[in-house]
Amino acid sequence: MTAAGHAVSLEEQIELWRSYLRRRQAIHSVDAAELEDHLREQIAVLAAAGLAADEAFLVAVKRIGDLDALSREFAREHSERLWKQLVVPSAETGEPQAAARRDAIAAFCLATLAAVIIKVPALFGTDFGADAGFYARNLSLFVLPLLTGYFAWKRRLDADTVRWLPVPFVAAAVLVNAYPLAPGGYSEALTALHLPIALWLVVGVAYAGGRWSEVGGRMDFIRFSGELFIYYVLIALGGGVLTGFMAMIFQSIGIDIEPFFEEWLLPCGAVGAVVIASWLVEAKQSVIENMAPVLTRLFSPLFAAVLLTFLGALLLTGRGIDIERNVLIAFDLLLVVVLGLLLYSISARDPRSPPGVFDLVQVVLVASALLADAVALSAIAARITEFGFSPNRVAALGENVILLVNLAWSAVLYVRFLRGRGSFTSLERWQTDYLPVYAAWAAIVVIVFPPVFGYV
């Protein structure tokens, strides 16, 4: 009986040791197996020499050596392992690899489908050049339903959720095409800009896969959105390089690719890349480090410094903000960037760790952005009647208020956390709870604004 007890505890000890080993990036599972074989033989020899199982285990582990030093040695021999390889899935076991391949195939099929769908209106004579408004209004409807479908499939959403997921897309499609929007007008531009934001929430619900009601699920969606953006930009840059070379080499044989580029490559590539980028984020989330938090770390202090200098200059020179047409939009964008910096630093932070210097930088960043925005808002408020209420201005003002409220309360929560009176999770909760507000405002802009402002 004692022997059996010992055997179990020895297995447990070996299991624990193996799990320590597996945490080392440079030591792959085959190497761990090799080392485990060594450990077991050593234990057997020591046990045969009369040592108790746990003693034999301790001696054998000690002989194998310090794991840090060992993994350094492995890393020196296999330096490529420290660079996680991108597209090649790790060939460890068969089952997850099959799932990964199925995912990849589904993503490529959906990307192709998106590329086909964006060309369908052309069959009915809707041209990219002549009917730019149609494509601008409907752009998100060409790709977001596919993305939603991808996640609904991947997350195996229950039938109830799947049933209502198409509703917002259908409603949006009917609405934006039924409204008599003036071509090239403000309302059309606003719709083109805000519909994707409103519908992005639907993607989020599918992405969260039943975890939308949890803070964690929504936070994952925030992380996903940031990474998706980065991947998309990278793909777009690559596409730009590819197109540049294509244009150059075909030019040399007297073929102009511009019509092909404008009619096919750009639209098909742009919608397909959304699906591909989403798939990449999903496939790589555990493989490579997330980039958004890294960029946040880099730019939060820089933005804070710029904003503080701006406020200082405002005070010293006593200049007012020159209210131009686009100044409100500029400040909206500033708040969006600051919010992004805040959001992605929150998303990567361990809620349990105590406040640090970087948290202070975040608070300074948010506070200075709020001050700068308040100055701009007061300058605008003084002259808003003079400018009149165009749909653009009202939308920009609404966004400004929404962002201001979010950042102001975030600053309060952050200061509370820094002073040890609140937990970091309340800040997380606030940010994730706020997500529907953006979508709701975007929906209002799309649904309510055109009739109110006469579809101009």
Partner 1 sequence: MVINKDLMAASSTPIVLAILAEGDSYGYAILKRVRELSGGRLEWTDGMLYPVLHRLERLGHVEARWEVGDSGRRRKYYRITPRGRAQLADERRQWQAVDATLRGIWQALVVPGPAAGRVSAAPLPGG
Residues that bind partner 1 (CB under 8 A): 30-31, 33-35, 37-38, 40-42, 44, 63-67, 69-70, 73-74, 76-78
Question: Could you tell me the smallest distance in angstroms from the CB atom of residue 9 to partner 1?
Answer: 19
The SS3 call for residue 350 is coil
Backbone phi and psi for residue 124, each to the nearest 5 degrees, phi listed first: -95, 20
What's the rounded Cα separation, in Å, for the pair 348 and 219?
10
Question: Could you tell me the smallest distance in angstroms from the CB atom of residue 33 to partner 1?
Answer: 7
Q: Which two tokens stand for residue 150?
A: 């991808």
The smaller minimum CB distance to partner 1, of residues 14 and 397, is found at 14
Question: Could you tell me the smallest distance in angstroms from the CB atom of residue 64 to partner 1?
Answer: 4
Q: Which two tokens stand for residue 176?
A: 């934006």
What's the rounded Cα separation, in Å, for the pair 164 and 156?
15
What's the rounded Cα separation, in Å, for the pair 339 and 328?
16
Question: Could you tell me the smallest distance in angstroms from the CB atom of residue 122 to partner 1?
Answer: 54
Q: Which two tokens stand for residue 12?
A: 């447990």
What's the rounded Cα separation, in Å, for the pair 449 and 455?
8
The smaller minimum CB distance to partner 1, of residues 76 and 325, is found at 76
DSSP string, 215-266: HHHHHHHHHHHHHHHHHHHHHHHHHHHHHHHHHHHHHHTT---HHHIIIIIH
- 8 Å CB contact between 379 and 328: no
Backbone phi and psi for residue 209, each to the nearest 5 degrees, phi listed first: 55, 60
Q: Which two tokens stand for residue 2?
A: 């004692």
The smaller minimum CB distance to partner 1, of residues 67 and 246, is found at 67
> Under 8 Å CB-to-CB from 274, ≥6 apart: which residues?
114, 143, 147, 228, 232
Give which of 151, 175, 305 is closest to 225, Cα–Cα: 151
The smaller minimum CB distance to partner 1, of residues 57 and 74, is found at 74
The smaller minimum CB distance to partner 1, of residues 34 and 214, is found at 34
> Under 8 Å CB-to-CB from 427, ≥6 apart: which residues?
346, 410, 413, 414, 417
Question: Could you tell me the smallest distance in angstroms from the CB atom of residue 61 to partner 1?
Answer: 10
> What are the DSSP E strand ranges found in 366-406?
none
Question: Could you tell me the smallest distance in angstroms from the CB atom of residue 28 to partner 1?
Answer: 10
* Cα diameter, the chain: 96
What's the rounded Cα separation, in Å, for the pair 144 and 327?
31
Question: Could you tell me the smallest distance in angstroms from the CB atom of residue 31 to partner 1?
Answer: 7
Radius of gyration over alpha carbons of the chain, in Å? Answer: 28
What's the rounded Cα separation, in Å, for the pair 37 and 31?
10
- 8 Å CB contact between 456 and 185: yes
